[in-house]
Structure 1
Amino acid sequence: MGIQIADIIPRKEIELTDMKGKIIAVDAFNTLYQFLTTIRQADGTPLMDSKGRITSHLSGIFYRNINLLQEGIKLIYVFDGKPPELKFKEIQKRKEQKEIAREKLEKAKEEGDTEAMHKYSQQTVKITDEIIEESKKLLEAMGIPVVQAESEGEAEAALLARKGVSWASASQDYDSLLYGTPRLIRNLTLSRKRRTSSGMFVDTKIELVEFDKVLNELQINLEQLICLGILVGTDYNPGGVRGIGQKRALEIVKKYEYPLKIFEFVEKSDKYTLDFDWQPIFHQFKSFKETHKEKINFQNIDLEKIKEILVTDHEFSEERITNALEKLKEVEKAKKQKGLNEFW
């Protein structure tokens, strides 16, 4: 879900050309959820092959990333590992919500309500081990490095950006800022048009959030930003402190400045109830250590492997894939002309 601080975060629209030649570390699970929830038929049914295997994620990885590679953008996909214990409560909550959505989906199917079917089918999405492995194989065939984090992929991606391995991290969630990513890219892998819950289509713009600009405009530091996120609510304390929204949280962290004083105020307040231990959540963000130490290498694109995965294994249209691969051949040609290291 991510922290809800969009109303107070400064950001600007950018174009794909603004990222030409730059490396972006992508939150893989966040992106796969986008593909699995948005790339669907009108009644909410995901794309599938004749064996009933879901292929929405493969379609998203292939077609969306081709456009990015054509623009000279270099991608690293960072996958989640084992979630921290702090997140178990949120995971359980999500499981319960999916079960409720499944029940509503079945009712919608019985009533023939395609709009409700589309809505509730999106809420039942699950990233399986099979989907993860298929995604990794296709990404690697496209020459896109895969990083396996021990825990939170979003945090690992943010740290890659902090270290200068990548120029920015990409996720829909603002949590990356709490991990100190210097730049956060939102809407990178989304279609340029997005369907809203009402069924309307709206233009989707790529957004750049700059960490230093956030701190400067809000007049806070990283520790205060982490406290702000905890007050509003993170995946480790869903809902945060009841009664404290984004703007009020900003007022509190600016007034009391230090983590101990911030939460001491909340704890002693007659207006608010602090019903969780904030310190392990704070340290999860502040003291997160990267786990990936190996050098990240960008390999050549394997056109035959891509066709094998998509056409042979999952029955994608050979004509469409062949036409799309022509674009990747141009990318590969450009790499060879400039020299692999220079291009990447």
Structure 2
Amino acid sequence: MGVGGKFWDLLRPYATQQGFDFLRDKRVAVDLSFWIVQHETALKGFAVKPHLRLTFFRTINLFSKFGAYPVFVVDGTPSPLKSQARISRFFRCSGIDTSSLPVIKEGVSVERNKQFCEWVRECVELLKLLGIPVLKAKGEAEALCAQLNYEGYVDACITPDSDAFLFGAKCVIKGIKPNSREPFECYHMSDIEAGLGLKRKHLIAMSLLIGNDFDSGGVLGIGVEKALRIVRVFSEDEILERLQDIGKGLKFEVNGGIKSVDDGEESCPEIKRRLPHCSCCGHPGSKRTHFKSSCEHCSCDSGCIEKPVEFRCECSFCFKDRDLKEQKKTENWWIKVCDKIALWPEFPNRKIIELYLSDSFTEDGSSMSWGAPDTGMLVDFLVFNLHWDPSYVRKMLLPMLSTTYLRERPTNNTDKPLLYDQYEFHSIKCIKTRYGHQSFVVRWRKPISTSRFTHGEPEESIVWEEDLVEDEESVDLLDGLHEPQVQDANGDCFLLTDECIGLVQSAFPDETEHFLQEKKMRESKKKTVSEEAATPSRSTTPGVQKSIKDFYRSAKAASTQSTDPGMSSKASTSAEKKRRATSSSSSLPKSVRRRLLFG
């Protein structure tokens, strides 16, 4: 939930859309509960254990496609404050009066249901087999994610809970849209401070006013807009103390002064008698005076100019009068707000403030480490839980294994095969562009005699890349993976995977340079051929392609010579179109063929 009300709507104007490489070589903390809950309902009944399926695919894509180093965080024992808020929210939604509910004592908490805890346990087991670090929070998972981000152990947090900012997060990724050029919806605390003028303690004060995970109600009658107006009055250093004083009954004026509730209203200074204004033009002076001597503001000799509907007099008296009324209106609004806050029992809750400002949610984040996947155990685990074929599991693990291999090669400089001592780097096939992001298609070589993917399996299990590219707009890069393409050539078996260009350049600089040079030569040669084809040629040598003008000129002459004088004009036109369509060859450019067919 996070902060109550429409808090995300307040922050949305300051969100930034980041591209594929935003998390490249960065550490990111992921709220595991968010991933489990997000699609459990949507996929329930359509997949076996969807929480395991999504965690498997999303983790591999986050690691290989986006190049991040994920660390997952799971919830610990909920705070008694949150347990009380959960119970209150449940009874309130049920229409039951919550005023008589017993207060939960310290050390007593309401755990999540057993089914969800089992899902979390299975996902944690899967992540450990993948070599991904998993941390358990002391309380809320988003609190630990924020602490890791605040202390510099991770570069961003992936969580939908807006109270991550209250716990100290500097960069929060609220949502991921993989089927786009800019998949990350990112919120930076620096942008929020610059745009709204709010800092961490300001956001904590807003959560106390409008509600949060530990106090779902907030102050009755105060929403996001009112809370924003209140906290902007004070600086970050004094906002929490001032809220505490207001809760005790003190009323702070907008200019910073203090007056007690028992002081009563101060006597307003005597207002001078209002100057007369013309009912026709609205300027100072009576209508009779303007009739005798013209209005100096209208600048019209024939009399006053009738005032428009939304006319506002700008004389000094009217300006001061409006300013005084606005100030009085603000003071009355502020008094009403302070009265609402003072009526709320035990406001603000110091335990909630201390919880948000705490920095002890788990052990030191420096203990995080990423290891190699245990492929044997992973195959057994997924075959048992998801009933997948072992060869399918190995294929789906290949992108993660190849990414790990490319990352380690520049430092280790090893020729160790990639997977099961079977695959080695062969060459770069081409450059693929998907959603505006470029990657290398890399060939991994394996002798066909020992291939597990080509013997003993039905042919239907092989999914070719060409089929996936055609439907790439509907493929979710987080929720599913493209199976590596399998190719057989001259007794060898090749697997094709999409790899980060920077990783391949770092791991195999010579091969990358050779591929780029060949690509440049092919493009140069293609450009030369197209320029020669576009140049008009006077030669009639067979095999030389004519220019468009010469082609049409010769086609028209041939048409004139072959037309029968006795043929009607309609038949002549039909025969001419048919002859043009027949004469068009696949060797002609597409634009020329289109003109011949539909010209």
* Fold in common (TM above 0.5): yes
> Is 1:14 aligned to 2:31, yes or no?
no
Are 1:163 and 2:151 matched, yes or no? Answer: yes
Runs of 4+ in 1 over 6 A off after TM superposition: 94-100
Structure 2 distance, partners of 1:310, 1:131, is 14
Equivalent of 1:77 in 72, 76, 87: 72
State whether structure 2 residue 83 is matched by structure 1 residue 91.
no
Question: Aligned letter for 1:155?
Answer: A
User: What is aligned with 1:310?
Assistant: 382
What's the TM-score once normalised by structure 2's chain length? 0.46
What residue is the counterpart of 1:270 in the other structure?
339
The separation in 1 between residues aligned to 2:378 and 2:24, in whole angstroms, is 24
Q: CA deviation at 1:187?
A: 1.5
- Residue 281 of structure 1 deviates from its aligned partner by 0.9
Q: Which residue of 2 aligns with 1:31?
A: 35
CA contact (8 A) 2:220 2:340 kept: no
Matched residues, number: 298
Change (3 A) 1:249 1:297: same
For 1:109-128, list aligned pairs within 5 A: 128=116
| CA–CA separation in structure 1 for the residues paired with 2:93 and 2:407 | 44
Distance 2:407 2:116 in 1: 34
Provide Cα deviations, 1:186-233, integer angstroms capped at 9, x if missing partner.
Answer: 124x7659xxxxxxxxx9952111112212222122211111122121
For the structure 1 residues 128 and 98, does the alpha-carbon distance in structure 2 shift closer, same or farther, using more than 3 Å as the test?
farther
Partner of 2:128: 140
**Partners of 1:322 and 1:95 in 2: CA distance:** 45
Question: Residues 138 and 166 of structure 1: is their aligned pair in 2 closer, same or farther, counting only changes over 3 Å?
Answer: same
Q: Which has the higher helix share?
A: 1
Q: Which structure is larger by alpha-carbon Rg, 1 or 2?
A: 2
SS at structure 1 position matched to 2:399 = helix
Q: CA deviation digits over 1:30-88, x for unaligned, max 9?
A: 22211423433xxxx3633xxxxxx1110111111211111211100011111111111
- Residue 189 of structure 2 is matched in structure 1 by 211
RMSD after superposition? 3.0
Structure 1 partner of 2:142: 154
Q: Write the distance in 1 (CA, Å) between the matches of 2:188 and 2:86.
A: 29
Give the whole-Å Cα distance in 2 for the aligned partners of 1:83 and 1:66.
30
1:87 maps to amino acid: K
Q: Judge conservation of contact 2:17–2:182 (CA < 8 Å) in 1.
A: no
Match of 1:120 in 2: none
Higher relative contact order (CA 8 A, sep 6+): 1
How far did residue 127 of structure 1 move? 5.3
- Does residue 239 in structure 1 map to residue 217 in structure 2? yes
- 1:136 counterpart SS class: helix
In structure 1, C-alpha distance between the alignment counterparts of 2:27 and 2:390, rounded to whole Å: 30
Alpha-carbon contact 1:256-1:262 (below 8 Å) kept:
no
DSSP 3-state at the match of 2:30: strand
Q: Classify 1:299/1:126 alpha carbon distance in 2 versus 1 (closer, same or farther; 3 Å).
A: same
CA contact (8 A) 2:18 2:182 kept: no
- Listed as ranges, the gaps of 5+ residues in structure 1 are 49-54, 101-123, 194-202
1:259 corresponds, among 226, 235, 240, to 240
DSSP 3-state at the match of 1:187: strand
Point out the more displaced range, 178-187 or 299-308: 299-308
Q: Using the TM superposition, give the Cα deviation of residue 97 of structure 1 relative to its aligned residue in structure 2, in angstroms.
A: 9.3
Q: Is the 8 A contact 2:247 2:346 kept in 1?
A: no
**Preserved contact between residue 180 and residue 211 of structure 1 (Cα < 8 Å):** no
Q: Which residue of 2 aligns with 1:297?
A: 369
Q: Name the SS of the counterpart of 1:270 in structure 2.
A: helix
Rounded Cα–Cα distance in structure 2 between residues aligned with 1:89 and 1:300: 42
SS in 1 for 2:409: helix
The 2-side partners of 1:145 and 1:321 are apart by: 21
What corresponds to 2:432 in structure 1? none
Give yes or no for contact 1:13–1:206 (8 Å, CA) kept in 2. Answer: yes
For 2:161, the equivalent position in structure 1 comes to: 173
Residues 226 and 59 of structure 1: CA distance in aligned 2, closer, same or farther (over 3 Å): same
CA contact (8 A) 1:33 1:125 kept: no
Superposed CA deviations along residues 6-30 of structure 1, whole A, max 9, x for unmatched, are: 1221211112311101000111222
1:47 equivalent in structure 2: 47
Contact 1:27 1:171 in 2 (8 A): yes
Q: Could you tell me how far apart the structure 2 residues matched to 1:47 and 1:164 are?
A: 38
Deviations along 1:272-330, one digit per CA (max 9) or x if unpaired, are 55245422111110124232126111111222222121113331354543331222221
Structure 1: how far apart are the matches of 2:93 and 2:381? 30
Q: Secondary structure at the match of 1:17?
A: helix
Q: Quote the residue 2:400 is aligned against.
A: 328
Q: CA separation in 2, counterparts of 1:311 and 1:274?
A: 56
Contact 1:24–1:168 (8 Å) recurs in 2: yes
Runs of 5+ in structure 2 lacking a partner? 96-111, 250-337, 413-502, 504-599
1:29 aligns to what SS in structure 2? helix
Q: Partner of 2:61 in structure 1? A: 67
Q: In structure 1, what is the Cα distance between the partners aligned to 2:346 and 2:94? A: 26
- Matched with 2:118 is 130
Worse overlay, 306-315 or 261-270: 261-270
**Alpha-carbon separation, structure 1, partners of 2:168 and 2:148:** 10
* Deviations, residues 87-109 of structure 1 (Å, cap 9, x unaligned): 11233356669999xxxxxxxxx
- Check conservation: 1:228, 1:253, Cα contact below 8 A: yes
C-alpha distance in 2 between matches for 1:225 and 1:162: 16
8 Å contact kept, 1:301–1:332 = no
Q: Percent identity?
A: 24
Distance 2:92 2:32 in 1: 22
Q: Distance in 2 between matches of 1:234 and 1:127?
A: 26
Residue identity in the other structure for 1:270: D
Query: Cα distance 1:152–1:305, how it changes in 2: closer, same or farther (>3 A)?
Result: same
User: What SS class does the counterpart of residue 178 from structure 1 fall into?
Assistant: coil
Letter in 2 for 1:57: H
Shift of 1:156: 0.9
